[in-house]
Amino acid sequence: MCLAHHELESVKVVKLLLHLLPAASLFILPESPRWLVVNGHLDMALAVIHRVYIGSVLPAGQLAVSAFMLLRCKAHTARHTTAA
């Protein structure tokens, strides 16, 4: 009987951890740069790109490409906001 109770407690702990994991990721994972650009937070989007790629093994050119794409999105957003 004691073993079954111990197994039940283990299942409860695992279920609790699986439910807490998505909530904890809200504080750990950065915002999506695309979402930030679409909502007008361009400086924050660039900061996220820099923070993500700074410790990456990607070549430095990849950071430049990401920054270029961000600026292109900025120009696209500006054109559509002024046209409306």
Q: Which tens digit of pLDDT belongs to each residue from 18-30?
A: 888 888 888 877 7
| pLDDT, tens only, 59-72 | 666 666 777 777 77
Instruction: Tell me, yes or no, whether 58 and 78 share the same domain.
Output: yes
Q: What is the pTM of this model?
A: 0.46
Q: How many CB atoms lie within 10 A of CB 47?
A: 15
The secondary structure of the chain in percent helix, strand, coil, rounded to multiples of 5, reads 85, 0, 15
Instruction: Tell me, yes or no, whether 84 and 45 share the same domain.
Output: yes
Instruction: Tell me, yes or no, whether 44 and 10 share the same domain.
Output: no
* HEC profile of 28-62: HCCCCHHHHHHCCCHHHHHHHHHHHHHCCCCCHHH
- Domain interval for residue 8: 1-29
How many domains does the structure of the chain reveal? 2
Q: Answer for the pair 47, 11: CB distance below 8 angstroms, yes or no.
A: no
Q: Answer for the pair 63, 53: CB distance below 8 angstroms, yes or no.
A: yes
Instruction: Tell me, yes or no, whether 8 and 42 share the same domain.
Output: no
Instruction: Tell me, yes or no, whether 77 and 56 share the same domain.
Output: yes
Instruction: Tell me, yes or no, whether 54 and 64 share the same domain.
Output: yes
